[in-house]
Amino acid sequence: MTSALTRSFSVESSELSSAAISERQRQSLLKDSEKMSDPEPCRIKQEETEELIDLKVKSEELSEDEEKPYQCSHCDMRFCDLGNLNSHKKIHTGEKTHKCDQCGKTFMMPSQLKTHLRVHTKEKPYSCSECGKSFRRLSNLKAHQKIHTGVKEHVCIECGKSFIRAGELKNHQRIHTGEKPYKCSHCDRRFGQLQIVKVHERTHTGEKPYACTQCGKSFKQSPSFYRHMQIHTGERPHTCDHCSKTFLWPSDLTRHLRDHTNEKPYACSECGKRYTEQSTLRRHQKMHTGVKEFACFECEKSFIRAAGLRQHQRTHTGEKPYVCSHCNKTFRYSGHLKAHERIHTGEKPYTCTQCGKSFSVSSSLNSHMLIHTGEKIHRCEQCGKTFLRASQVKKHLRVHTKEKPFQNIDLPENSLLH
């Protein structure tokens, strides 16, 4: 009877890990012993049964120590062979012995170097059977394939947002917790995601691992590299439904669409003025502080932005770097060139939402909109009378100044005959 019971426990215990058996597992084994098909009820005491279990676990622990004789001196992990132990120790020491001969980047494991080299060779050996998209890593392919199934099984308990991968959820949850576990090895800045700290560290090292095969230009980040490559291919896959203008990136199209809808989602908290882009709002907000840190050496005029100073300096140098592709006319500012080229193309991207009339420049649309609103924002300082347009104020002021600019114009004699 005892022999049969011991054999039964050997089968059950073989599935247990080297860790100590939990109380729940002990009770389960004891319960199974009561259900044995022995004609006579099992009369082995609980203490004796538990002793058998403990003996079995200890024997398994001893056998595992024999199977994994190499233990890490930094932690409790054990390994079957010395090579695996030495590889593991690099996690503690930070040693990176495997170096890329293309860019000099170093890695702990040869497998990591092998995967990294695909950045340079452009090799993507793992292809999706659904859409044909290729990947450098098998893990990336597996994560991508979940896009086709639509399953997002990892859900944030804070906001309900769901993710395809557990790692994405973990990164997202740091938005709620404020946790930033990754510290830059060159400065004190911390980040919530490992990839972001890697990109940040390149600002210190100057590393640019993504090189263009067409012109040799290098980039710190892959999105910048892919965007640059489209300059060579001429690919502009994102098209505006209103004017058919095409763009490299969906974010560029989103910003462009605001020209048609007149949407200005970014508002200044000081004066309420609204803008289509957040970067423009940030520049505007500097006006409220009054700080103009960029000064011209020629005339000492100062500017809020460095770009404003650069543009101003062209008035001294006479530089006009922006050339029209249709008539070769040159301009100081890119905005002036864009507005000018619409004369050739006939493009009128600014449309009135009230009557549908379109304009080539936004200032013309803004002036036109005053007709519908009836707003008269231009005031005469002499009498307080208001006008729709600045030109109307200028004309009105002649009433006060008695100026008559067209009084002494000499006309040709024969012009009076017509």
In contact, 377 and 371? CB cutoff 8 Å: no
Q: What is the pLDDT of residue 327?
A: 92
Give residue-wise pLDDT tens across range 28-56. 544 444 444 444 434 333 444 444 444 44
State the pairing for strand pair 294-295/126-127: unpaired
Q: Predicted confidence band at 27 (pLDDT cuts at 50, 70, 90)? A: low
Of 88-97, 207-216, 306-315, the one with minimum mean pLDDT is 88-97
In contact, 44 and 33? CB cutoff 8 Å: yes
| Greater model confidence, 404 or 382 | 382
Q: Predicted confidence band at 409 (pLDDT cuts at 50, 70, 90)? A: low
The pTM of the full predicted model, rounded to 2 decimals, is 0.34
Of 49-53, 82-86, 174-178, the one with minimum mean pLDDT is 49-53
Residue 289, pLDDT > 60, answer yes
Give burial (CB, 10 Å; 0-12/13-18/19+) of 210. buried
The mean of the pLDDT values for the chain is: 78
Residue type at position 258: R
Question: Measured at the alpha carbon of residue 283, what is the angle toward residues 281 and 284, in degrees to the nearest 5?
Answer: 60
Give residue-wise pLDDT tens across range 295-317. 888 888 888 888 888 889 888 99
Cα–Cα distance for residue pair 359/108, rounded to 1 Å: 60
Neighbours of 157 (CB within 10 A): 8
Distances (CA, A) of 115 to 52, 121, 193, 375: 49, 10, 20, 64
Distances (CA, A) of 74 to 66, 85, 92, 109, 115: 20, 11, 7, 19, 28
Cα–Cα distance for residue pair 1/18, rounded to 1 Å: 27
Neighbours of 418 (CB within 10 A): 5
Q: Report the percentage of the chain scoring pLDDT > 70.
A: 81
